[in-house]
Amino acid sequence: MTKYAVTLRALETGDMGFIEHVYATSRALEMTHSGWPAEQIASFLKMQFNAQHQYYQQHFTHAEFCIVEADGERAGRLYTYFGRTCAVLIDIALLPHYQKHGIGSGLLEALLRRSDQLQLPVELSVEPYNPALQLYQRFGFQVIDQKGVYLRMRREAPDHPSRMPS
């Protein structure tokens, strides 16, 4: 349960600076180990954000790109895709101030409810050192593969009662 009223809305052109900031904060700890000056980190993160955003737009053309709002304030982003055979949690990221308040868990629960209603498994990719890995495991995701630095995880849809043998 979260203390915030959480809503989702479609990503708008005016949100680009915000989602770039969300991306940068999600990589902040990792970047502290780079030894690079702040300007170089900022330039690198801008380049990485642009590449990621372009990739998502090209490879998930029918995805839902949403801004997460908490009490009416922009708190993060949630990108999901619902295909014919699988749902994909493309990306979920919250600003540090909104983390550890149940927002991510609530968003994940809603995604799983929706995919269960559609009888779709859910897949995602996560880096092994990402603290969200434990959250995904708690929600029943299991590692199915490793591609580069990412673990691919999957949570099967529960059997639908109408499909149970009589």
Report pLDDT digits (tens) over 39-89: 999 999 999 999 999 999 999 999 999 999 999 999 999 999 999 999 999
* pLDDT for residue 130: 87
Q: What is the C-alpha separation between 68 and 9, in angstroms, rounded?
A: 7
Residue 36: CB partners within 8 Å, gap ≥ 6? 44
Entry field: residues in the chain = 166
Residue 39: CB partners within 8 Å, gap ≥ 6? none
Q: What is the C-alpha separation between 94 and 99, in angstroms, rounded?
A: 6
Q: Which residue has the higher pLDDT, 164 or 23?
A: 23
Asked if pLDDT for residue 160 goes beyond 80, the answer is no
In this structure, the number of other CB atoms found within 10 A of the CB of residue 75 comes to: 24
Q: Which residue has the higher pLDDT, 32 or 163?
A: 32
* pLDDT for residue 1: 64
Report pLDDT digits (tens) over 97-130: 999 999 999 999 999 999 999 999 999 999 998 8
Q: What is the C-alpha separation between 115 and 117, in angstroms, rounded?
A: 5
* pLDDT for residue 41: 95
Residue 143: pLDDT band with limits 50, 70, 90: very high
